[in-house]
Amino acid sequence: MTGPNLPRPIPGSNAISSGFKIGVSTIGTIPPFDYWNTVLAQYANSPIITGLIADFFQWIDKTEGFDDFFDAIFNVDTAFGYGLDVWGRIVGVSRTLNVGAGTFFGFAQGQPGTQPWNQGTFYSGASLTTNFILADAPYRVLIFAKALANISDGSIKSINNILMNLFPGRGNAYCTDGLDMTMTFTFTFPLTPVELAIVGQSGALPRPVGVAATVVQL
Protein backbone atom coordinates (compact mmCIF):
# COMPACT_ATOMS: atom_id res chain seq x y z
CA MET A 1 0.00 0.00 0.00
CA THR A 2 1.30 3.42 -0.91
CA GLY A 3 0.32 6.94 0.05
CA PRO A 4 1.61 10.49 0.04
CA ASN A 5 3.65 9.88 3.18
CA LEU A 6 4.64 6.30 2.52
CA PRO A 7 7.54 4.98 0.44
CA ARG A 8 6.62 2.83 -2.53
CA PRO A 9 7.15 -0.91 -2.02
CA ILE A 10 9.93 -2.67 -3.85
CA PRO A 11 8.50 -4.76 -6.72
CA GLY A 12 8.47 -8.43 -5.85
CA SER A 13 8.88 -7.78 -2.13
CA ASN A 14 6.16 -8.50 0.45
CA ALA A 15 8.03 -7.02 3.37
CA ILE A 16 6.93 -3.77 5.02
CA SER A 17 9.28 -0.91 4.18
CA SER A 18 11.60 0.33 6.89
CA GLY A 19 9.96 3.76 6.57
CA PHE A 20 6.61 2.39 7.72
CA LYS A 21 5.94 2.66 11.47
CA ILE A 22 3.30 0.31 12.83
CA GLY A 23 0.69 2.22 14.78
CA VAL A 24 2.00 5.56 13.52
CA SER A 25 2.07 5.63 9.71
CA THR A 26 -1.24 6.24 7.97
CA ILE A 27 -2.96 3.38 6.13
CA GLY A 28 -5.48 4.39 3.49
CA THR A 29 -6.71 7.89 2.80
CA ILE A 30 -8.38 8.57 6.16
CA PRO A 31 -6.70 8.45 9.58
CA PRO A 32 -7.62 5.48 11.78
CA PHE A 33 -9.92 6.09 14.72
CA ASP A 34 -8.04 6.69 18.00
CA TYR A 35 -9.87 4.60 20.58
CA TRP A 36 -7.90 6.28 23.39
CA ASN A 37 -10.20 9.26 22.96
CA THR A 38 -12.96 7.11 24.43
CA VAL A 39 -11.04 6.08 27.58
CA LEU A 40 -11.58 8.14 30.71
CA ALA A 41 -8.41 9.21 32.49
CA GLN A 42 -9.34 7.29 35.64
CA TYR A 43 -9.25 4.02 33.69
CA ALA A 44 -6.18 4.74 31.56
CA ASN A 45 -3.83 2.87 33.92
CA SER A 46 -5.97 -0.26 34.12
CA PRO A 47 -4.30 -2.94 31.99
CA ILE A 48 -7.43 -5.11 31.94
CA ILE A 49 -9.82 -2.36 30.78
CA THR A 50 -7.41 -0.87 28.27
CA GLY A 51 -6.54 -4.36 27.01
CA LEU A 52 -10.20 -5.20 26.46
CA ILE A 53 -10.76 -1.91 24.61
CA ALA A 54 -7.67 -2.43 22.45
CA ASP A 55 -8.71 -5.97 21.55
CA PHE A 56 -12.29 -4.91 20.88
CA PHE A 57 -11.12 -2.11 18.58
CA GLN A 58 -8.83 -4.50 16.71
CA TRP A 59 -11.71 -6.90 16.09
CA ILE A 60 -14.23 -4.32 14.84
CA ASP A 61 -11.95 -1.68 13.29
CA LYS A 62 -13.96 -0.21 10.40
CA THR A 63 -11.33 2.24 9.15
CA GLU A 64 -10.83 0.36 5.88
CA GLY A 65 -14.58 -0.06 5.45
CA PHE A 66 -15.22 3.65 5.93
CA ASP A 67 -12.40 4.41 3.49
CA ASP A 68 -13.97 2.14 0.86
CA PHE A 69 -17.42 3.64 1.55
CA PHE A 70 -16.08 7.15 1.00
CA ASP A 71 -14.47 6.24 -2.34
CA ALA A 72 -17.24 4.00 -3.68
CA ILE A 73 -20.36 5.93 -2.59
CA PHE A 74 -19.90 9.15 -0.61
CA ASN A 75 -17.45 10.92 -2.95
CA VAL A 76 -19.26 11.55 -6.22
CA ASP A 77 -15.93 12.11 -8.02
CA THR A 78 -14.85 8.51 -7.34
CA ALA A 79 -18.19 6.74 -6.82
CA PHE A 80 -19.15 3.98 -9.21
CA GLY A 81 -21.96 1.53 -9.84
CA TYR A 82 -24.39 1.53 -6.93
CA GLY A 83 -22.72 4.64 -5.48
CA LEU A 84 -23.61 6.68 -8.57
CA ASP A 85 -27.12 5.23 -8.50
CA VAL A 86 -27.48 6.65 -4.96
CA TRP A 87 -26.29 10.07 -6.14
CA GLY A 88 -28.70 9.86 -9.06
CA ARG A 89 -31.62 9.38 -6.68
CA ILE A 90 -30.39 12.28 -4.56
CA VAL A 91 -30.26 14.80 -7.42
CA GLY A 92 -33.22 13.25 -9.24
CA VAL A 93 -31.83 11.82 -12.47
CA SER A 94 -32.06 8.24 -13.74
CA ARG A 95 -29.29 6.16 -15.27
CA THR A 96 -31.82 4.58 -17.66
CA LEU A 97 -33.06 6.59 -20.63
CA ASN A 98 -35.59 5.67 -23.31
CA VAL A 99 -33.91 5.93 -26.70
CA GLY A 100 -36.13 5.86 -29.78
CA ALA A 101 -35.56 3.23 -32.44
CA GLY A 102 -34.70 5.96 -34.96
CA THR A 103 -35.61 6.27 -38.62
CA PHE A 104 -34.83 3.71 -41.30
CA PHE A 105 -34.44 3.57 -45.06
CA GLY A 106 -37.77 3.31 -46.89
CA PHE A 107 -39.63 4.21 -50.06
CA ALA A 108 -43.05 5.40 -48.89
CA GLN A 109 -43.45 9.14 -49.28
CA GLY A 110 -44.32 10.80 -45.99
CA GLN A 111 -44.40 7.51 -44.13
CA PRO A 112 -43.33 8.12 -40.49
CA GLY A 113 -40.05 6.44 -39.61
CA THR A 114 -38.75 6.18 -43.20
CA GLN A 115 -35.95 8.19 -44.78
CA PRO A 116 -34.44 8.27 -48.31
CA TRP A 117 -30.90 7.41 -49.43
CA ASN A 118 -27.99 8.85 -47.41
CA GLN A 119 -30.34 9.63 -44.52
CA GLY A 120 -32.00 6.44 -43.29
CA THR A 121 -30.24 3.26 -42.17
CA PHE A 122 -31.30 -0.28 -43.08
CA TYR A 123 -33.67 -1.90 -40.60
CA SER A 124 -31.82 -4.53 -38.57
CA GLY A 125 -34.77 -6.00 -36.71
CA ALA A 126 -36.73 -4.97 -33.65
CA SER A 127 -34.69 -4.55 -30.47
CA LEU A 128 -35.80 -6.13 -27.22
CA THR A 129 -36.02 -2.76 -25.49
CA THR A 130 -35.50 0.93 -26.21
CA ASN A 131 -34.09 1.53 -22.73
CA PHE A 132 -30.44 2.55 -22.58
CA ILE A 133 -28.39 2.35 -19.38
CA LEU A 134 -25.66 4.97 -19.09
CA ALA A 135 -22.16 3.88 -18.15
CA ASP A 136 -20.55 5.37 -15.04
CA ALA A 137 -18.54 8.10 -16.80
CA PRO A 138 -21.40 9.78 -18.73
CA TYR A 139 -23.78 9.19 -15.83
CA ARG A 140 -21.42 11.07 -13.48
CA VAL A 141 -21.42 14.03 -15.89
CA LEU A 142 -25.22 13.89 -16.02
CA ILE A 143 -25.41 13.84 -12.21
CA PHE A 144 -23.26 16.98 -11.99
CA ALA A 145 -25.38 18.66 -14.67
CA LYS A 146 -28.62 17.78 -12.85
CA ALA A 147 -27.16 19.00 -9.56
CA LEU A 148 -26.34 22.29 -11.29
CA ALA A 149 -29.87 22.42 -12.72
CA ASN A 150 -31.33 21.92 -9.24
CA ILE A 151 -29.72 25.16 -8.04
CA SER A 152 -30.04 27.00 -11.33
CA ASP A 153 -31.93 30.28 -11.55
CA GLY A 154 -33.30 29.22 -14.95
CA SER A 155 -31.54 32.02 -16.82
CA ILE A 156 -30.11 31.63 -20.33
CA LYS A 157 -26.60 32.02 -18.92
CA SER A 158 -27.18 29.24 -16.40
CA ILE A 159 -28.66 26.88 -19.00
CA ASN A 160 -25.76 27.54 -21.38
CA ASN A 161 -23.36 26.69 -18.57
CA ILE A 162 -25.11 23.34 -18.09
CA LEU A 163 -24.97 22.64 -21.83
CA MET A 164 -21.23 23.27 -22.00
CA ASN A 165 -20.68 20.98 -19.02
CA LEU A 166 -22.77 18.22 -20.58
CA PHE A 167 -20.98 18.37 -23.93
CA PRO A 168 -17.43 19.65 -23.31
CA GLY A 169 -15.16 20.05 -26.31
CA ARG A 170 -17.88 19.11 -28.81
CA GLY A 171 -18.60 22.56 -30.20
CA ASN A 172 -21.05 25.35 -29.49
CA ALA A 173 -24.25 24.54 -27.63
CA TYR A 174 -26.58 27.29 -26.48
CA CYS A 175 -30.15 28.14 -25.55
CA THR A 176 -32.22 30.98 -27.02
CA ASP A 177 -35.53 32.50 -25.91
CA GLY A 178 -38.15 32.77 -28.66
CA LEU A 179 -39.99 35.47 -26.66
CA ASP A 180 -43.26 33.63 -27.40
CA MET A 181 -43.26 30.93 -24.70
CA THR A 182 -40.78 28.88 -26.71
CA MET A 183 -37.09 28.14 -26.29
CA THR A 184 -34.55 26.44 -28.52
CA PHE A 185 -31.52 24.32 -27.70
CA THR A 186 -29.08 24.74 -30.57
CA PHE A 187 -26.13 22.41 -31.18
CA THR A 188 -23.47 22.99 -33.82
CA PHE A 189 -22.57 19.30 -33.71
CA PRO A 190 -24.62 16.13 -34.24
CA LEU A 191 -26.18 14.46 -31.22
CA THR A 192 -26.43 10.71 -30.77
CA PRO A 193 -29.82 9.19 -29.87
CA VAL A 194 -28.58 8.81 -26.29
CA GLU A 195 -27.57 12.47 -26.12
CA LEU A 196 -30.95 13.49 -27.53
CA ALA A 197 -32.56 11.45 -24.75
CA ILE A 198 -30.38 13.25 -22.19
CA VAL A 199 -31.47 16.63 -23.56
CA GLY A 200 -35.14 15.74 -23.78
CA GLN A 201 -35.77 13.29 -20.94
CA SER A 202 -33.24 13.59 -18.14
CA GLY A 203 -34.45 16.90 -16.75
CA ALA A 204 -30.89 18.18 -16.56
CA LEU A 205 -31.87 21.22 -18.64
CA PRO A 206 -34.24 23.58 -16.83
CA ARG A 207 -37.38 24.57 -18.72
CA PRO A 208 -39.98 27.02 -17.39
CA VAL A 209 -43.51 25.68 -16.96
CA GLY A 210 -45.61 26.14 -20.08
CA VAL A 211 -42.62 26.84 -22.32
CA ALA A 212 -42.15 24.60 -25.37
CA ALA A 213 -38.57 23.52 -26.07
CA THR A 214 -37.14 22.35 -29.39
CA VAL A 215 -33.74 20.95 -30.33
CA VAL A 216 -31.88 22.20 -33.41
CA GLN A 217 -28.72 20.59 -34.80
CA LEU A 218 -26.76 22.71 -37.26
3-state secondary structure 34-97: CHHHHCCHHHCCCHHHHHHHHHHHHHHCCHHHHHHHHHHHHCCCCCCCHHHHHHHHHHCCCCEE
**Cα separations (Å) of 125 from 111, 113, 191?**
18, 14, 23
Provide the whole-model pTM. Answer: 0.62
Read off the pLDDT of residues 144-167 as tens digits, 9 standing for 90 and up: 989 988 998 888 999 999 998 888
Percent of the chain with pLDDT over 70: 72
Of the pLDDT bands very low, low, confident and very high (cuts 50, 70, 90), residue 136 is very high
* Closest C-alpha among 170, 154, 157 to residue 203: 154
List the domain boundaries for the chain.
1-31, 35-68
Decide which of 34 and 184 is more confident.
184
pLDDT score, position 88: 95
pLDDT tens for 23-71 read 555 555 667 778 888 888 888 889 998 999 888 888 887 778 888 888 9
